[in-house]
């Protein structure tokens, strides 16, 4: 065990957990709020759903987050499509395989770009539009879409193990935020925002928003 847990290994593992557990969630939350701030019709539907949940002191349970916020779920999925946090996913073939007519020998590195898939017009009509309704489970667009067209958490046995927790974390944060505030884009925020590509996507100069209190929702 001592031979395995070298300082370099422990450091790399710690960095990976911090990156996966904080940077990605922070980016998803920031991008969702930024996008909603620029689309009043989306904000109106989101506020209506959040307000219908109950009084300010009612804390959503895990089951509530899973089943009582369908439009919020669509907003987050569309935000993850619009700004895909993981620009690249890499896999190494464990045996020779044929993909799309190409023979890949064992040990070949295969790179996939989820952000490119998320902008495929055949799967996402008008991909440059922020439209959460495209993820409505009862809609034609969602039913027609290839099940692997949107892969923000990867796929299969190597998919992100924190998927469920991360989604609930973002949902809970947005419920609490929109119960008390709405957000407006700051005039100091460039448009479109400049992105920085690394292990995960980020906003090069951050997201600049103005938080506006919702007086009728402030608890006494």
pLDDT digit string, tens, across residues 10-49:
777 676 666 666 888 899 999 999 999 999 999 999 999 9
pLDDT bin (cut points 50, 70, 90) of residue 5 is confident
pTM of the predicted protein model: 0.86
Beta bridge partners of 91: 110
pLDDT for the residue 19: 61
pLDDT for the residue 218: 45
Determine what percent of the chain is predicted with pLDDT higher than 70.
Answer: 93
pLDDT for the residue 219: 44
Report for 6-15, 143-152, 190-199: range of highest mean pLDDT = 143-152
pLDDT bin (cut points 50, 70, 90) of residue 88 is confident
pLDDT digits (tens, 9 = 90+) for 126-139: 999 999 999 999 99
| 130-149: burial string, b at 16+ Cβ within 10 Å, e else | bbbebbbeeeeeeeebeeee
Annotate 45-63 with DSSP letters as a single string.
Answer: HHHHHHHHH--TTPPP-HH
pLDDT for the residue 17: 63
| 199 pLDDT above the threshold of 80 | no
126 known member of a binding site: no
Q: What value does the mean pLDDT of the chain take?
A: 89
Domains of the chain: 20-217 (1.10.630.10)
| 123 pLDDT above the threshold of 60 | yes
DSSP secondary structure letter of residue 157: G
For 84, residues 6+ apart whose C-beta sits below 8 A from its C-beta are 114, 115, 118, 152, 201
pLDDT bin (cut points 50, 70, 90) of residue 78 is very high
């Amino acid at each position: 065990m001592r031979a395995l847990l070298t300082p370099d290994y422990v450091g790399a593992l710690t960095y990976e957990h911090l990156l996966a557990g904080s940077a990605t969630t922070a980016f998803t939350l920031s991008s969702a709020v930024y996008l909603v701030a620029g689309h009043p019709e989306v904000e109106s539907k989101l506020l209506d759903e959040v307000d219908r949940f109950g009084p300010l002191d009612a804390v959503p349970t895990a089951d509530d987050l899973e089943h009582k916020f369908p439009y919020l779920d669509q907003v987050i999925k569309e935000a993850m499509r619009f700004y895909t946090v993981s620009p690249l996913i890499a896999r190494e073939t464990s045996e020779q395989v044929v993909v799309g007519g190409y023979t890949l020998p064992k040990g070949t590195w295969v790179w996939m770009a989820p952000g490119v898939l998320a902008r495929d017009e055949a799967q996402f009509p008008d991909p440059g539009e922020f439209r959460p309704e495209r993820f409505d489970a009862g809609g034609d667009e969602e039913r027609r879409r290839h099940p692997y067209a949107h892969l923000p958490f990867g796929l299969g046995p190597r998919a992100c193990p924190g998927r469920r927790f991360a989604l609930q974390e973002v949902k809970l944060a947005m419920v609490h935020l929109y119960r008390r505030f709405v957000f407006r884009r700051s005039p100091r925020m460039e448009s479109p925002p400049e992105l920085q590509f690394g292990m995960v996507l980020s906003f090069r100069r951050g997201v600049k928003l103005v938080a506006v209190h919702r007086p009728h929702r402030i608890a006494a």
